[in-house]
Structure 1
Amino acid sequence: MRGAAATVAIALVAIWTDLPAAQAIPPPSVDPALVPPDGPPRPDQPMRRSNSCSAPISVKNPDLAQLAPGFNLLNISKAWQYSTGNGVAVAVIDTGVTPNPRLPVVPGGDYIMGEDGLSDCDAHGTVVSSIIAAAPQGISPMPRPMPATPAFPRRRDRRRSSPHRRRRWRSRLPRFRPTADTGDDHPNRSAATAPTA
């Protein structure tokens, strides 16, 4: 039995000594020729709104002391022991952000209507920004969200070819340029889809 154990031990040592040392991958390089051109956020072609705006739903006397279910699910109060996000600049690339007293924001841009991003016809960007930074119940209580909106135009395109997909993604890349140029710590891009989409 001891002989078998010794053989296994020798085999394991031989395997471990033959393994290469752990290495980190080299950091990615940025090709300046591929960086999107600088410029103010604006549509790259004439655009128009093709749907009516969503009407926000309000509660007459909301119970602001009641925490959202996700707050407890994610154990946010414990996470805040390590970091609250205070002072972190967040660029919200979404459908716009409608400011309110609990959600102070600064203008970013609008790639559809060419405005400043401080209106939200769809409500999605405002909801996302509220989760990030609204006081006093936001997930990260104090960061400054900056809308640079929206990354995905409100139009549908059923073409599925790879060249078209590549062009479509290239057209979206400039939406991230202003967030890097203004020194925002974190660009946030989220999307919602209908269950049948």
Structure 2
Amino acid sequence: MGRNKLARFKANEENRNVVQEGKEIFERIKGNWRKEQFKNERSIVVELACGRGEFTVGLAREYPDQNFIGVDIKGSRIWKGSTIAIEEGLENVAFLRTQIEQLERFFEEKEISELWITFPDPRPRDGDEKKRLTSPRFLEMYKPLIQEDGWIHFKTDNTGLFAYTLALLQEREDIKDLAFTHDFYASTFRDDHHGIKTRYEAMFSAKGEKIKYLKFRFR
């Protein structure tokens, strides 16, 4: 393991805005994000597969009256967003280092007001369907965690994953207010996100890839 990665892991251990195994707060955070981490009663927005945290931090800049949590298993990536948030004095940002499959361990029912799924691994093989973050397995996990009428957003460059997700949502009876576009930056949705791009999104866009986007709520 390289020195840079070791240094980042050490920083994550010290940074208050990183919740990870080995910290006392890790085992008691479920249902207590507002009280224990943010020290306020504001709404909680969660980004899954947050990577380096560009989107989580970007939203936190735009909406100081809300709390934002980025979730990812890669500590060296989380370090980046964590460090930027600390340098900018953003107290409404936190990062949870865990497998997304474990999300129920860390959030109480209705604790999340809004959920973002941004550029996840498309898992294109049929045998990997259950690992897709928009598969029925994951949708059933998100459903009790998000507040009534809370939005779930999904962005990807992957045409196959987007088609799979859209078809799945259109077939479900518990989905409402589904809206989507196959070309995000040519759509009316683009201004809602304040031009915030992740490193991967910028890379895909530069290659001419159309960014796909949808949002929905559970009935």
TM-score by length of 2: 0.24
The structure richer in strand per residue is 2
Q: Rg larger in 1 or in 2? A: 1
Greater RCO (Cα-Cα under 8 Å, separation 6 or more): 1
TM-score by length of 1: 0.25
The structure richer in helix per residue is 2
